[in-house]
Amino acid sequence: MDYCYFESPLGKLLLAGNESLESLHFPRGKTRKEPEKDWVYKEKVFLKALDQLYAYFKGELTRFDLELNIQGTNFQKRVWQELVKIPYGETISYGELAKRIGNPNASRAVGLANGKNPISIIIPCHRVIGKNGSLTGYGGGLEVKKNLLELEQRNKKMMNS
């Protein structure tokens, strides 16, 4: 497995994969991970992802265009494919996401799949919130989710003015 780091406003993100991006981990929270002993530091594998993350955090990129190697169940992959359709700077509820994948009674299962998203930020699971508008669980922690949403909303306002 290849890996590298990206210094973000949220802290040092860990990117990992074989020939393409498979996971992105936060420096804190449930998804925190350290490189394993047999992993190889190879920044060049992730240059496009690093460039796009840099542009995203500067407010210059609203949609990622990367080759991803996503590992998950068919249901999880359906949820994750729907996540990338949520517009930049906007949010939807877990129930709405369940409706969008054609299974309106599956909001809990959608929440679990959302929580297993291996490539946060790029697959924007932070854009899914509780039905009442509350911020609910996030692998990098609720403060990170809040910061990502605020970043996008602030940048979206600047783009529209």
Assign residue 84 the CATH number of its domain.
Answer: 1.10.10.10
Assign residue 7 the CATH number of its domain.
Answer: 3.30.160
pLDDT digits (tens, 9 = 90+) for 31-66: 788 999 999 999 999 999 999 999 999 999 999 999
Is 4 catalytic? The answer is no
> Which pLDDT does position 139 carry in this prediction?
76
Q: 125, 128, 129, 148: which is the annotated catalytic residue?
A: 125
By residue range, what is the domain housing residue 37? Answer: 2-58
> Which pLDDT does position 58 carry in this prediction?
94
26 and 93 share one domain? no
29 and 83 share one domain? no
Domain total of the chain: 2
Q: Is the dihedral angle over the CA atoms 76, 79, 82, 88 positive or is it negative? A: negative
Any domain includes 34: yes
* Tokens 């068919």, residue located: 74
Low-confidence ranges of the chain (pLDDT < 70): none
> Which pLDDT does position 159 carry in this prediction?
78
